[in-house]
């Protein structure tokens, strides 16, 4: 009996890691193809279900529907990802799978915030002539009214000097337990 439970948990963990991958800046069609390749269906009765609309793709997983990830779409590209969960363990698995993505080089900048220090590919000049870089930011929140945990990943423009300071912070390596 224990071995069946372990196998079930392993399968769910693999699914979580695969579909909670970083799809920021990927096309909507690529995102949907990856969800389908990992067992998600457009059938609302499926255990791993996704819903497609004009400006977002919502993925809901686990048999009790505790967790959902929303991929927000602008101009056919994913520009932010939000995850909400009422199950602490489900939330922790999803968050840790995102933060363990080594190519993003996540740094913890505040108790509930992380910044990716992957080499930026987008630059612009600020109002005062300073050089700005686009970075991914992850913010964790907890709702006192619903008890649900959530995080949001989005692009943010920051001063290049601040970005360089973030790179000096030790890389995230730990396992996060819920922020409830």
Asked if residue 49 lies in contact with residue 105, where contact means CB atoms within 8 angstroms, the answer is: no
pLDDT one-digit tens code per residue, 150-164: 999 999 999 999 999
Locate the domains of the chain by residue range: 2-167
Is the pLDDT reported for residue 2 higher than 70?
no
Asked if residue 22 lies in contact with residue 94, where contact means CB atoms within 8 angstroms, the answer is: no
47 or 138: whose pLDDT is higher?
A: 138
pLDDT for res 15? 46
Asked if residue 124 lies in contact with residue 159, where contact means CB atoms within 8 angstroms, the answer is: no
pLDDT one-digit tens code per residue, 27-46: 999 999 999 998 888 888 88
Beta carbons within 10 angstroms of residue 157's beta carbon:
13
Q: What are phi and psi of 91, to 5 degrees?
A: -60, -50
pLDDT one-digit tens code per residue, 34-92: 999 988 888 888 888 889 998 999 888 765 667 889 999 999 999 999 999 888 888 88
Q: Which residues of 28-57 are buried (b: 16+ CB within 10 A; e: fewer)?
A: beebbeebeebebeeeeeebbbbeeeeebb
Report the SS3 class of residue 55. coil
User: What would the two tokens of residue 21 be?
Assistant: 């991958």
What does the alpha-carbon distance between residue 179 and residue 152 come to, in Å, rounded to a whole number?
Answer: 14
> Span 132-141, mean pLDDT?
93
């Amino acid at each position: 009996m224990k071995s069946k439970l372990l196998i079930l948990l392993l399968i769910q963990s693999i699914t979580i890691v695969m579909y909670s991958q970083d799809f920021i800046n990927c096309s909507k069609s690529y995102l949907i193809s990856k969800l389908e390749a990992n067992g998600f269906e457009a059938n609302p009765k499926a255990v791993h279900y996704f819903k497609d609309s004009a400006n977002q793709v919502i993925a809901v997983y686990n048999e009790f529907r505790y967790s959902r990830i929303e991929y927000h779409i602008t101009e056919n590209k994913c520009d932010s990802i939000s995850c909400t969960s009422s199950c602490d363990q489900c939330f922790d698995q999803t968050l840790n799978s995102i933060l363990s993505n080594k190519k993003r080089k996540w740094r913890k900048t505040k108790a509930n915030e992380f910044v990716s220090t992957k080499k930026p590919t987008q630059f612009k000049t600020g109002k005062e002539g300073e050089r700005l870089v686009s970075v991914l930011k992850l913010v964790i929140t907890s709702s006192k009214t619903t008890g649900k945990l959530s995080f949001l990943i989005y692009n943010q423009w920051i001063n290049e000097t601040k970005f360089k300071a973030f790179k000096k912070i030790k890389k995230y390596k730990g396992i996060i337990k819920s922020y409830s």
